Amino acid sequence: MTLVAEVAAPEPVGPLLFANHNPNFGLDFEHEREGQAVTAARAIEELVGQRRLHVVVAGDFDTVPEAASVRFWRGRQSLEGTSVCYWDAWESIHPDDPGHTFTPDNPLLSGGTWPQERGRRIDYVMVRCVDHGPTLNVGACTRIFDQPVDGVWATDHFGVVADLAVPTRTPTVVS
């Protein structure tokens, strides 16, 4: 499922689309995640149309960066005759850190229904690219909810948050 909202952000950002993408989670559901990614990306592109909008897609994508559905979002492979490109905030700030968000470091995971999980990154913040790069700069990207508060863990996996800013020069859109 993907929820899309247009946010009336003040200048210099201006209006932007924010999409929360949350496809099927089963380990053997990559085919379904691929179709869901394509459907979501096509819907976003239709909403953007010819407007110059920043687009952020974030959420629990339920699979690793190497999976076809995430490669599709990152512009590293097409699916069903469709191509898009989004800048992966975590990868841009931490290129050599796997950034596991679904990890046995969290006792809710290792003590719950995933006792054999070794750790992987399944949560993302991504910024839409135009012809020459992302329309927003990623200033920082960190995991959240990765420590208990008073002994209580927020969820069975960690979240990701990114600091985004409008660059001094925005990428060019070639018509």
pLDDT in tens, 40-65: 999 999 999 999 899 999 999 999 99
Tell me how many domains the chain contains.
1
Does the pLDDT at position 175 exceed 60?
Answer: no
- Residue 169's pLDDT band, with cuts at 50, 70 and 90, is confident
CA nearest neighbour of 72 among 31, 108, 37, 102: 37
Task: Specify if 171 maps to a domain.
Answer: no
Cβ neighbours, 10 Å, residue 160 = 23
* Tokens of residue 172, six digits: 């060019």
Q: Is residue 173 part of a domain?
A: no
pLDDT tens track for 21-39: 999 999 999 999 999 999 9
In a domain, 97, yes or no: yes
Is it the case that residue 112 has pLDDT exceeding 90?
Answer: no
Is 174 domain-assigned?
no
pLDDT at 173 over 70: no
Q: Determine, yes or no, domain membership for 36.
A: yes
For 119-172, the DSSP string reads: -B--EEEEEEEETTEESSEEEEEEEES-S-BTTB-SSSS-EEEEEEE--SSPPP
Q: What is the pLDDT at residue 171?
A: 57
Quote the domain boundaries for residue 126.
2-165
We report the CATH number of the domain holding residue 158 as 3.60.10.10
Mean pLDDT of 143-162: 95
Contact at 8 Å (CB) between 9 and 16? yes
> Is 172 a domain residue?
no
Mean pLDDT of 7-26: 94
pLDDT value at residue 65? 97
